[in-house]
Amino acid sequence: MEPGAPSGGGIDDAMNRVLGAEQAAREAVAACREEADAMVARAEAAASAISDRAGRRIRAAHRIADRGVERALAELQSSASAAEVPAPDAERIEGLVAQLARELIEPGS
């Protein structure tokens, strides 16, 4: 063996340290991957819960709006039937037709 050359035991020890560090790095990466997967799963569950809650709120808002529209339509229908204008009598119709005829025949009158 040459002077200053590492001994066989020293090389083996160095290789074992490198291999141990490599194994520790693999384990750390695997642990990080598992933690990231768990974080993604929690985020997906939270997003799903938010989406479900938003859907329920939107459906509730639609039901409220539908009831409001139905009430407004009912009010319009009741007020329209209460304010119905009676049909004009024959004398009134004759007067309106005569007025329209004069306007058509005599412009500017």
Alpha carbon 59 to its chain centroid, in Å, reads 12
More confident residue, 81 or 18: 18
Tens digit of each residue's pLDDT (9 = 90 or more) over 4-24:
555 667 999 999 999 999 999
pLDDT for 21-76, tens place per residue?
999 999 999 999 999 999 999 999 999 999 999 999 999 999 999 999 999 999 88
| pTM attached to this predicted model | 0.50
Structure tokens at 29: 């990466």
Task: Report whether 97 contacts 91 (CB < 8 A).
Answer: no
Distance in Å from the first CA to the final CA of the chain: 133
